[in-house]
Amino acid sequence: MSVEIEDSQRAQRPASLSSGTAGSERQRARARLSSSGGGRPSGAPFRDECTETTAVCEGGAGVGRVWHLGEVVDERYRLLELLGEGGFGAVYRAEDQERGEIVALKVLAQSRLERSARRFRHSAELLCLLRHPAVVAGLGFGRSQGSDYLVMEDLPESYDLRALLEVRGLLPWHAAVQLTSELVSGLQYLHERGVIHRDVKLKNALLTQRGVVLIDFDLAKAIYAESWAEEDSGPIDLRSPALRLALEASESTQLGLTGTPLYMCPERLEGGAATPASDLYAAGLVLYKLLTGQLPHQGSLPQDLRELLAARRQAPPSLREDHGLDVPQALDALLARALSPLRAERYALAGELLDDLGAVLMGGGSPPTPAPPQQDRTLLA
């Protein structure tokens, strides 16, 4: 049994974003990633989907249905390649035999509890309603032989920003700002439609031929979805022995948190609800890490949530004064606001942050003259 979006909706493929100052950077990075062995084919950034820190692991016994390459899911999707697997299940590149298209197919592990399955179905339905160049397109969802699945667009020659940073190293400030602008444009689209991503981080942002694309909507929710309210609230035991592991794990509701603690604002670490503003805080952390290679006040992984929360309650170190980076003062000021320990001082609206990022790009300095525009928008150097 499957649910597919209407043909008219499928036809609304996300259009390309403008290349801005980062186009030539993507060309160089793409070549470097490929030559270093770091290149990954379409959809491959899903490969590490469960390796960082998402709070959602509920356990469960048994491994459930095991799908093999060559098998056909729901009498339609022939599995071609395993792109990634973890506690959540697996992601495959597959052939849609009805349409003759290559897609990405995410299959939920049968060992997941029913609560996780409901969340998966909710996020799948939500994703299939969204269409924006900076948001991965959901094409349909269903259930086959006891396994819930989600069909998504294939993203050839894409890399997550974490892989980019590992291979390329620190980005030029104008390139990092351009990428973050593209990410925030996707968040603006989501927030205007009442959707919170709840897990914005380097690994969930792909650099593709059309620009940055947000992926992994497993934790996304409609802002007014009251049935999920309990997941985002309540006191957190900062001394829990599970905390150290959960900072690096991929899922763990044992903490009472939903998302990745390393990318959370102070109030979320204290058990507060996710909001559009908490997505924007995470976007600020993404920009900070693209520029410095680390998160604020993080020389190494925090020992527990107490240490992480203490760091989040401090103003972020200055790019210019503390890191010695030659960046526009306006960019330093933007990050000081985006990552302020005081909620009232931070960006509440994506459009406001997007405007300030644009202003930095337009007048914040003199980036090198870009190379002639390229046809594709792949990876940034």
Average pLDDT in the chain: 77
Going by C-alpha positions, the residue among 197, 198, 205 that lies closest to residue 162 is 205
Per-residue pLDDT at 12 exceeds 80:
no
**What confidence score (pLDDT) does residue 265 get?**
93
Q: Is 199 a catalytic residue?
A: yes
**What confidence score (pLDDT) does residue 213 get?**
97
Provide CB contacts within 8 A for 117, sequence distance 6+: 108, 148
Q: Which residue has the higher pLDDT, 254 or 271?
A: 271
Token pair recorded at residue 299: 């020389």
Judge whether 170 and 290 are in contact, CB under 8 Å. yes
pLDDT band at 219 (very low <50, low <70, confident <90, very high): confident
pLDDT band at 373 (very low <50, low <70, confident <90, very high): very low
Catalytic residue, chosen from 154, 199, 216, 356, is 199
- Which of 27-31, 109-113, 161-165, 208-212 shows the lowest mean pLDDT across its residues? 27-31
Expressed in angstroms, the distance from the first to the final Cα of the chain is 43
- CA 268, 274, 280, 284 dihedral sign is positive
Mean pLDDT of 258-287: 93
Going by C-alpha positions, the residue among 40, 23, 46, 377 that lies closest to residue 205 is 46
Q: Which residue has the higher pLDDT, 286 or 260?
A: 286
3-state secondary structure of 85: strand
pTM of the model: 0.77
pLDDT band at 308 (very low <50, low <70, confident <90, very high): confident
pLDDT digits (tens, 9 = 90+) for 83-110: 888 767 889 999 999 999 999 999 988 7
Per-residue pLDDT at 136 exceeds 90:
yes
Q: Which residue has the higher pLDDT, 64 or 312?
A: 312
**What confidence score (pLDDT) does residue 58 get?**
39
Mean pLDDT of 24-43: 44
Q: Which residue has the higher pLDDT, 237 or 214?
A: 214
Per-residue pLDDT at 226 exceeds 60:
no
Q: Which residue has the higher pLDDT, 96 or 244?
A: 96
DSSP bridge partners of 77: 73, 96
CA-to-CA dists, residue 189 to 146, 185, 196, 197, 285, angstroms: 33, 6, 10, 11, 20
**What confidence score (pLDDT) does residue 364 get?**
58
CA distance 55 to 50: 10
**What confidence score (pLDDT) does residue 371 get?**
38
pLDDT digits (tens, 9 = 90+) for 178-210: 999 999 999 999 999 999 999 999 999 999 999
- Which of 51-60, 128-137, 211-220 shows the lowest mean pLDDT across its residues? 51-60
- Which of 1-5, 38-42, 174-178 shows the lowest mean pLDDT across its residues? 38-42
Judge whether 205 and 238 are in contact, CB under 8 Å. no
DSSP bridge partners of 193: none
Mean pLDDT of 306-317: 89
pLDDT band at 50 (very low <50, low <70, confident <90, very high): very low
CA distance 279 to 200: 6
Question: Percentage of the chain surpassing pLDDT 70?
Answer: 67
Which domains are seen in the chain, by residue range?
159-363 (1.10.510.10)
**What confidence score (pLDDT) does residue 111 get?**
58
- Which of 9-18, 104-113, 307-316 shows the lowest mean pLDDT across its residues? 9-18
